[in-house]
Amino acid sequence: MDSSSTFGYNSVEDRIWLSNSSWQNRLWLTRKHCKELLRAITQTLQGAYTDAPELPTEDIEREHDNAINRPSNSTGAVLHVGRDTIKQTSVSYALCTRITLIQYSNRFELALSASKTDYRMMFSREELHRFLRALYLILKQTDWQLPQPPRWLTRSYLPAALQKILQAPLPENLDCDIDDYEADSNEPPNSD
């Protein structure tokens, strides 16, 4: 993938948008297309390791972890997670009507069709893992109740200590004023 791609979720439209630096329009991806895309990419990646693509293996987990955590060897695989704002009136959208994932010997092509135009993206295997991860992270923002993706796709890459902090309930005294601190003390006010 020699261009930059950005995903986002538009809650008003209840659709995912996908843009690419080489395209003139953003594409709307519906729930149905995202479900099929998630399934197709997952099965394609897992299929290299097992005759039963629905069963994840240690090999696919390791490959996915390496693709996410290692610096990219490719020249331009850039993915971004974006937010759509109402003020973006100059952006034009096209509704994606068909998605096809084509596997070549060492590359993948994602062909997205909209009215009168085909949009294409090429990926290495590593880049396809990253594209899938970005799609998964955007889909988490929706309330689409899609089938559960494989464990290797859903795992967190935050260190355990940070996960505990983010999952812990917030303290009750978050709304206290700075004036509540004693002037000669570095300690926060006692909430007793």
Question: What average pLDDT does the chain have?
Answer: 80
Residue 190: which pLDDT band, with cuts at 50, 70 and 90? low
Average pLDDT over residues 153-178: 74
Phi, psi angle pair for 186, to nearest 5°: -95, 0
> Which residue, chain included where needed, has tokens 């099929």?
36
**54-97, pLDDT tens digit by residue?**
555 688 888 888 888 877 665 544 445 555 544 555 789 999 99
pLDDT of 32 higher than 80: yes
Instruction: Give me the percent of the chain exceeding a pLDDT of 90.
Output: 40
pLDDT of 27 higher than 90: yes
Residue 176: which pLDDT band, with cuts at 50, 70 and 90? low
First to last CA, the chain: 57
Rounded alpha-carbon distances, angstroms, from residue 100 to 58, 112, 160 = 27, 7, 37
pTM for the whole structure: 0.73
Give the start-end residues of each E strand in 24-92: 26-29, 78-83
HSE-CB at 15 with a 13 A cutoff on CA atoms is: 14
Instruction: Give me the percent of the chain exceeding a pLDDT of 70.
Output: 73
- Name residues whose C-beta falls within 8 Å of residue 83's C-beta, 6 or more positions apart in sequence: 8
